[in-house]
Amino acid sequence: MLEKQRVLDANDAFYTAFRSMDFDAMDAVWAKRRGVSVCHPGQPDIGTRDAVMESWYKILLPGQPAQVSVYDPTVIMTAKSAFVICREEIGGTHLIATNVFVLEDGAWRMTRHQASRLPAPARQSDQYKRREEKE
The residues near 130 (Cβ < 8 Å, ≥ 6 apart) are 122
H/E element, 8: helix 3-20
| Burial label, 70 (beta-carbon count in 10 A; 0-12, 13-18, 19+) | buried
Please count the structural domains in the chain.
Answer: 1
The whole-number pLDDT of residue 64 equals 76
State how far Cα 38 lies from the chain centre.
10
The pTM of the full predicted model, rounded to 2 decimals, is 0.86
CB 109 within 8 A of CB 95: no
Of 118, 11, 110, residue with least CA distance to 52 = 110
The whole-number pLDDT of residue 45 equals 97
Q: Which residues of the chain register pLDDT less than 50?
A: 127, 130
Q: What confidence tens digit (pLDDT) does each residue in 76-95 have?
A: 999 889 999 999 999 889 99
The whole-number pLDDT of residue 119 equals 78
CATH of the domain at 42: 3.10.450.50
The residues near 128 (Cβ < 8 Å, ≥ 6 apart) are none
State how far Cα 80 lies from the chain centre.
19
The whole-number pLDDT of residue 61 equals 87
The whole-number pLDDT of residue 120 equals 64
The whole-number pLDDT of residue 76 equals 97
CA angle 105, 111, 116 (to 5 degrees): 155
| Rounded Cα–Cα distance for residues 108 and 102 (Å) | 5
The whole-number pLDDT of residue 79 equals 86
Range of the domain at 100: 3-134
The whole-number pLDDT of residue 62 equals 79
